Amino acid sequence: MSIAWQCKALGISRSVAYYEKKHTVPEQDLVVLEHICSVSESGRATDLTYIKLPSGHVYLMAIIDLYSRRVLNWIITNTLDAPIFTNCLRVTIEQYGCPAIFKPDQGCQFTSDCWTSVLLEHVILISMDGKNRALDNIYVERLWRSLKYEDIYIKQYESVRGLRDGVARYFRFYNTERFHQSLDYRTP
């Protein structure tokens, strides 16, 4: 979704994101993203990460609220089938309602018909930017860094069940006890 459409959807002037000084495209994206993050319930983001276990590898997907940085829902699976991730999206929408904008990356799961149809069915704007732009999903990428360095790499889980239990404990800690610099050292 272009900057113009995002600004229109959020009800802010495009000039705020476009005409101040001479910004590059990534800086314009950050202006809109900062606005999304300053309005409660207006934006969500998601991404996948790969986790290696002794028995193989699994994928972890999380959905976060961009305003509070709270992990709303997550799933661990050993397959990249889009319907599994779409079901997690549906459950999140049922539990937390519909955001104005959803920011996935351009993975095949998030560009699939089943994923995009759920967002369109709930009239949620989809904001996917260019390929190889990790900063577009910086909040989820930062979550992955925190999770891996503060938990997964230290505990070196041996099984999917152990990993699932550990991730559940970490996300409870992340949402209720862990201080976040971006939130002025408060919890989500």
Q: In this structure, are 115 and 32 located in the same domain?
A: no
Report the SS3 class of residue 98.
coil
pLDDT score, position 103: 87
- Tens of pLDDT, residue by residue over 63-110, are 999 888 899 999 999 999 999 999 999 999 999 999 988 888 888 888
Look-up: residue for tokens 């961009």?
Answer: 66
Q: In this structure, are 25 and 93 located in the same domain?
A: no
Structure letter (DSSP) for residue 149? I
Q: In this structure, are 159 and 95 located in the same domain?
A: yes
Report the CATH number that the domain containing residue 50 is assigned in CATH. 3.30.420.10
Q: Is the predicted pLDDT of residue 39 greater than 60, yes or no?
A: no
Q: In this structure, are 32 and 62 located in the same domain?
A: no
Residue 6 domain-assigned (yes or no): yes
Q: In this structure, are 156 and 89 located in the same domain?
A: yes
- Tens of pLDDT, residue by residue over 130-188, are 665 556 678 888 899 999 999 999 999 999 999 999 999 999 998 888 766 655 655 66
pLDDT score, position 100: 87
Please report the sign of the dihedral spanned by the C-alpha atoms of residue 15, residue 20, residue 23, residue 27: negative
What is the mean pLDDT of the segment spanning 104-129?
A: 87
Burial (CB < 10 A; 0-12, 13-18, 19+), residue 1, is middle
Q: In this structure, are 112 and 150 located in the same domain?
A: yes
Containing structural domain, residue 52: 44-183
Cβ-contact 61, 74 below 8 angstroms: yes
Residue 26 domain-assigned (yes or no): yes
Work out how many domains the chain is built from and give that number: 2
Structure letter (DSSP) for residue 183? G
Residue 188 domain-assigned (yes or no): no
Q: In this structure, are 124 and 177 located in the same domain?
A: yes
What is the mean pLDDT of the segment spanning 44-53?
A: 93
Please state, in angstroms and rounded to a whole number, the distance separating the CA atoms of residues 89 and 63. 8
